A and B are shown apart, each in its own frame.
Chain A
Amino acid sequence: MSFSWSLLLQGFTQALTPVNLLYAILGSLVGTLVGVLPGIGPTSAIAILLPLTTILPPLPAIIMMAAIYYGAMYGGSTTAIVVNIPGEASSVPTAMDGYQLARQGRGGPALGIAAISSFVAGTISLVGLTFFAPLLAGVALAFGPPEYFALMFMALSLVISLSGRALLKGLIATALGLLVAMVGLDPLTGEARLTFGTVSLMAGVNFISVIIGLFAIGEVLVNIERAALSIYENKIRDWLPGLEDLKYSLGAMLRSSVIGFFLGLLPGCSPAVTTFIAYDAEKKVSKRPHLFGRGAIEGVAAAEGANNATCSGGFVPLFSFGIPSGPALAVLLGGFMMYGLQPGPMLFKENPNLVWAIIASMYIGNVILLVLNLPLVGLWARIALIPFPILGPLIILFSVIGAYSVRFLMFDVWVALIFGILGYLMRKLNFPLAPMVLATVLAQMLETSLKQSLVLSSGSPLIFFTRPIAAVFMILALVMIAWGLWLQFSGRSAQLAADESD
């Protein structure tokens, strides 16, 4: 896939025809909606709309499906900020600071920064996709099992070391998350583990249900207790982000664009993964890390920037090798193939107009989403003013529907309810939720890449240190562990005492 201005311009002319524009808007709207609703993610939305491919011509259909994917990244932040319920797994870190901001009456600026950061990062990484896709394709290939393992290991070390004084609690939460993710069939061998001989447990614990339970249901349970007060104690102080918010967020937007985009090149690194890494990295470089988890606007910017950047990044391996980097892109790939189009190098040779029109439509889609989202900030922020006795049951209702709709298994609903209770207890006992969620999301990749690496090295763990990329990650991880321990036992821990991700 080589770049040419004339092809890109031609792509824009095609993407801007009324029909294609209409479907880009439609996709953005649907994407925002599924992003807002917890549980119903872009993967299921695209899957539900796949049959449309039999009616529509390829270009508008694919434009729409792609718009649903990146649109969901915009929408996911809304409920995360306003009521502490991440609409998508990738919005979990958004909730950490966004919700605190909303409680301080600054839900408007948080929502605004989320939209702006999504736009900036989405556009920056599209530029990366447009101009450097062939070069970048190599990055994805440089990552073999040992590199994946080292990256996952670093991500987990990072999130644990950020638990501040609650290091032990962070470790426990991580271990619990890993354990939960082991239930079901071993992803490599297909052997049933921790299923106690039941078929329903063989389906495994879906991490979307875990997140819905821990965050949405857990939050409602905690509020019932506070509650009698009958209202989410939110008032609205500001409506839009001010200059100072932008000043704090700008760096975060740029950094998270880069992190999100590069990690997005790696198959398996879905937005759910990269958002955590970008958020934690931002916390590490921040001059005011003590604010993270207590309403740092740059935390929102980092998280929302990263998930949008990852979205565009994922199109690089999809277009250059025909390899989807996450479940939503896998369904999108299915959509291509239903038209007899095979993403990969051949697609650029055979259908350059189609590919460039899709890329052009993504630039347009990002503008549409920004225009859609900024004026709606006021409307979304108002959700927080709905009295709790009405909002609480509604949240539970959507949680149950959301958990069920992932795989249409009743089992997933029970999982969500059980983790709701667990989420409540963890909040009460001051356990950080983030390490548990990240561990659940990463467990499969962590485990499979460890096994594969050790098969490759005939059992020697040195493989993680003899390969340069892996070694860098491993050393970073070890430094972070040491840093975490030092914090634990040094005077600085007092300052970071309550510095938990919840």
Chain B
Amino acid sequence: MRRKVWRLAALVALITVSTFLLVTGCGQTQPQSQKAEDKYPEKQITYLITFDPGGQSDREARRQQPLLEKILGQKIVIDYKVGGGGAVGWSELVRAKPDGYTIAGFNLPHIILQPMQQETGYKTEQIVPVALFQSTPLGLAVLKDSPYQTLEDFLNAAKQKPGEISIGGSGTFSGHQMGTLRLEKLTGTKFKYVPFTGSAPQITAFLGGHVDAVFANSDDLVKQQDKIRVLAFAGNERFEAFPDVPTFKEKGLDLVEAIDRGVAVPPGTPDNVIKKLETAFLQIAKDPEIQAQMKKEGFVPIAMGHDECKAYIEKMTGIYKEIVAGLKN
């Protein structure tokens, strides 16, 4: 009997002690986790790429990898989750632990347009942008031997035979199709938009003369510059590799359309973690040597931070919503 009482007392004591420890322990974990954020990064970071190895997103990540490792002092592991035009990887990102140890490359307008089209496993606002570092303005181009010398020629012809001139692009619900649709809307024309499964088949069909024109990425146009004539670029300013080609804006058409690449984290990632990543990525994006390499390959280096990215994504979402609404009617 007495022993039982002792046992009970011991048990109570044990429970009290452990509860006390637990409570104080819990109390301690709070500042500790605060510290974990401050100490970020303490271990290797996984950089998720949602497109095939060797593609542009991958090449950009690999260019950044050694510099990121130097700045952040941790190993950066590049991992691939490919499929569904990026949707598979982005769905994975928004489900990852928001601790800054999983980051992913993201593309505009993909993350805006995909969720507008259907259920994708992620929402645009769940992709928390850290920085945008590369822009690929789209250009409208024809072959060298095409009868259209200028944008005006091209648009006049389109007005005369609506729906007959074909423009090739990559995919539907993509930047290329949006560019075509916005051009139609701004000029009151109608084209035959022919989608391809990527830029390789798009450019081959274009060079073979199977489509009359293309809306294509600037880097593809740079590659083929001796065989083509670019009528206009959808950039804010003239594109460096083609200094004589006007922008749509110069021609009075408010059409700015680009494929932008950046890096994002899952929703709920602490602010100071985002800040640290942002600083690192922007430092690399502003590196003159990196910028020179990008330009040589036909890209426009940019350096947009977290807040600026958010505002930009919101603005583009507004624009696309309107076009998509028109498309679905």
Contacts and interface: CB of A to CB of B under 8 A. Distances in A.
Contacts of A346: 223
Interface stretch (A66-74, A293-301, A336-344, A430-438): A336-344
Interface in B41-56: 52-55
A407 B166 CA distance: 35
A190 B88 contact: no
Contact of A456 (B117, B172, B174, B194): B194
Contacts of B210: 144-145, 456
B218 interface: no
Contacts of B207: 141, 321
Contact of A143 (B166, B208, B293): B208
A190 B54 contact: no
Given A144-B205, A338-B62, A188 B88 contact: no
Interface string A259-286: 0000000011000000000000000000
Contact of B88 (A199, A267, A451): A199
B223 A317 contact: no
B78 to A, nearest CB: 8
A144 B83 contact: no
A134 to B, nearest CB: 13
Contact of A331 (B54, B196, B201, B296): B54
Given A202-B87, A203-B88, A338-B62, A321 B204 contact: yes
B296 A448 contact: no
B232 interface: no
Contact of B119 (A192, A332, A344): A192
B93 to A, nearest CB: 12
Contacts of A143: 204, 208
Contacts of B201: 267-268
Contact of A191 (B117, B192, B193): B117
A50 interface: yes
Contacts of B163: 458
Interface string A168-210: 0000000000000000110111111000010100111000000
B85 interface: yes
Contacts of A323: 200, 203-204
Given A50-B54, A321-B203, A184 B84 contact: yes
Contacts of A187: 197
A204 B193 CA distance: 25
Contacts of A230: none
A321 B172 CA distance: 24
B59 A455 contact: no
B64 interface: no
A189 B195 contact: yes
A335 B208 CA distance: 26
Nearest to B170: A188
Contacts of B87: 185, 199, 202
B297 interface: yes
A458 B192 contact: yes
Task: Say whether chain A's binding surface is mostly helix, strand, loop, or mixed.
Answer: helix
B49 to A, nearest CB: 11
A204 B84 contact: yes
Nearest to B173: A190
B56 to A, nearest CB: 8
Contact of A455 (B85, B193, B208): B193
A204 B85 CA distance: 11
B266 to A, nearest CB: 16
Contacts of B197: 187-188, 444, 448
B136 to A, nearest CB: 14
A408 interface: yes
A204 B87 CA distance: 12
Interface string B270-301: 00000000000000000000000100110000
B202 to A, nearest CB: 10
A54 B83 CA distance: 27
A141 B117 contact: no
Contacts of A444: 197
Interface string A298-313: 0000000000000000
Interface in A448-493: 448, 451-452, 455-456, 458
Interface residues of B, number: 51
A337 B192 contact: no
Interface in B164-203: 166, 171-174, 192-197, 200-201, 203
A456 B163 CA distance: 10
A58 interface: no
A243 interface: no
Nearest to A444: B197
A47 interface: yes
Contacts of B226: 345
A352 interface: no
Contact of B54 (A47, A192, A342): A47
A458 B190 CA distance: 13
Given A190-B171, A323-B200, A199 B121 contact: yes
Contacts of A141: 204, 207-209
Interface string B87-126: 1100100000000000000000000001001111100000
A317 B100 CA distance: 42
A197 B62 contact: no
Nearest to A203: B83
B58 interface: yes
A330 interface: yes
Contacts of A51: 62
Interface in A361-419: 407-409
B121 A202 contact: yes
Contacts of A331: 52-54
B85 to A, nearest CB: 5
B195 A185 contact: no
Given A203-B88, A268-B201, A455-B193, A407 B82 contact: yes
B81 interface: yes
B73 interface: no
B80 interface: yes
Contacts of A456: 166, 192, 194, 210-211
Given A197-B119, A455-B194, A189 B172 contact: yes
Contacts of A251: none
A203 B53 contact: no
Q: Which 7 interchain pairs have the tightest Cβ spacing?
A: A334-B54, A144-B210, A141-B208, A47-B53, A203-B83, A331-B54, A199-B121
15 contacts: A50-B53, A51-B62, A144-B205, A145-B210, A185-B84, A185-B87, A189-B195, A190-B85, A197-B119, A202-B88, A204-B83, A330-B200, A331-B52, A338-B59, A451-B195
Given A46-B54, A142-B208, A324-B200, 4 more contacts: A188-B195, A190-B171, A330-B200, A345-B226
